[in-house]
Amino acid sequence: MSKRHAPATLRNRDAILAVLQRIAPQDGVLLEIASGTGEHAAYMASNLPGPLRWQPSDGDADALSSIDAHAAGNPRILPALLVDVTARKWPIDRAAAMFCANMIHIAPWQASEGLFAGAGRVLTSGAPLVLYGPFKRDGAHTAPSNEAFDASLRSRDPSWGVRCLDSEIAPLAKRHGLVLGEIVPMPANNLSVIFRRR
């Protein structure tokens, strides 16, 4: 198994961990959507308290071997699952929490719709869904660097782009039984956004 590496992980993992340490449940399963290289899973699971188990997943079958390689030897990380967020059924029925970093802007809008539909199905009442990444606020970019990033994304694929938290993401969450609970400013003009399942 070969380990992939994403340089951004080293830059953002401690800030994300601080959020998860504060709001993650002590036990149960935390489902990570779009685990990518698997580096977040390995780092977060090793530093979260309690017997909480981390369930990594990705929509790219080729990513699963890297995820499992990073998780090797950590009994708190479950084998990676192949999850198509747009599917009506996921290979996991219940989760005490969900985490998703840097996916919804590097994917078609249908992926955001699928993410929240799935969260509405698998999260228990009161459970958090934590999103990390860049967002627009009130229809506007929060920094010139995010505006440039958005333009770069859309030039690669017109269906990608930085989403507006207020007019796109929060209403979508509400339709699937999740309410916006907290917005945490993060380094490099990103946000951690915490939703809760009603």
Question: Each residue of 127-158: pLDDT tens digit?
Answer: 999 999 999 999 999 999 999 999 999 999 99
What is d(CA 59, CA 55) in angstroms, rounded to the nearest whole number?
14
% of the chain at pLDDT higher than 70 = 99
Q: Please check whether residue 1 lies inside any domain of the structure.
A: no
Q: Please check whether residue 101 lies inside any domain of the structure.
A: yes
pLDDT for the residue 9: 87
Neighbours of 2 (CB within 10 A): 6
Q: Please check whether residue 179 lies inside any domain of the structure.
A: yes
Distances (CA, A) of 120 to 69, 90, 125: 30, 12, 9
Rounded mean pLDDT, 173-191: 97
pLDDT(69) > 80: yes
pLDDT for the residue 23: 96
pLDDT(168) > 70: yes
Q: Please check whether residue 55 lies inside any domain of the structure.
A: yes
Question: 175: domain CATH number?
Answer: 3.40.50.150
Q: Please check whether residue 2 lies inside any domain of the structure.
A: no
Q: Please check whether residue 50 lies inside any domain of the structure.
A: yes
Q: Is the dihedral of CA 134, 82, 47, 198 positive or negative?
A: positive
Question: Each residue of 10-66: pLDDT tens digit?
Answer: 899 999 999 999 999 999 999 999 999 999 999 999 999 889 999 999 999 999 999
What is d(CA 190, CA 164) in angstroms, rounded to the nearest whole number?
13
pLDDT for the residue 1: 60
**Count of domains for the chain:** 1
Range of the domain at 27: 7-197
pTM (two decimals): 0.96
Rounded mean pLDDT, 158-183: 98
Q: Please check whether residue 112 lies inside any domain of the structure.
A: yes
Q: Please check whether residue 189 lies inside any domain of the structure.
A: yes
pLDDT, averaged across the chain:
96
% of the chain at pLDDT higher than 90 = 95
Strands (E), the chain: 29-33, 53-55, 57-58, 81-82, 97-101, 128-133, 178-186, 190-197
